[in-house]
Every structure is written in C-alpha cells, then in structure tokens.
Amino acid sequence: MTPLHVLLAGAFILLGIGLYGLLVIRNMIKLVIAIQIMVKGAMLAFVVAGGLNGQLNLGQSLALTVITADTIVAIIGLALAIRIQERSGSLDVDEVMNLEG
C-alpha cells in the first residue's frame, strides 16, 4: 500500500466518523462539528485522488473551494444554533422540532 492509499483510507474513515455523528448526535453544535468532519474527509479524498491521478493542482483547487464553502456553512450553522439556543433554551434537535410558534 502506498502512502496515498493510506491517506485515502483515512479520508473514508473521516467520512464514516462524520456520518456516524450525523446519525447519532442530537446536539446542534455537535452536528455542525460532525458535518465539518465529513467535509474534511471529502476534501482529503479530493486531494488524494488528484495525487493518484497526477493532477494534484485540480485536487488542491477543489480543496480550496471546499474550505470556502465549508467555512460559510459552519458560520451559518453555528449562528442558527446560537439563535435557537436564545429562543428555546435548548440545542437538542428533538426538543427544537417539537416547538410551536
């Protein structure tokens, strides 16, 4: 196994950890963190796939695009979580889903 294959396996492990977090965790801030972990795994897979195909520049440019979009998603997600915490007093997804009004 080459080092790039090990990195690709690590990318899929990160994707799996993030997916597990999305399915199990009920706290909104932890959900944002789980999404961040998944995106980092996908970004690592892009860079490694670019390296395996000899197109490292393409993988790096995709990674920069993903970093930009991921930062925006994190900022908006955390802002929404803070606003929901202020209004409902809870960050639990199940409790927030039962709110009315």
DSSP bridge pairs for 27:
92
CATH class (in words) of the domain with range 3-94: mainly alpha
The predicted pLDDT at position 36 comes to 95
Provide the residue ranges of all domains of the chain, joining segments of one domain with +: 3-94
The answer to whether residue 57 scores a pLDDT higher than 80 is yes
The structure tokens listed for 47 are 């860079």
> What's the pTM?
0.86
Three-class DSSP category at 92 = strand
- Look at the block and give the residue holding tokens 């979580």: 81
Percent over 70 (pLDDT), the chain: 98
Three-class DSSP category at 27 = strand
Return d(Cα 70, Cα 57) in angstroms, integer: 20
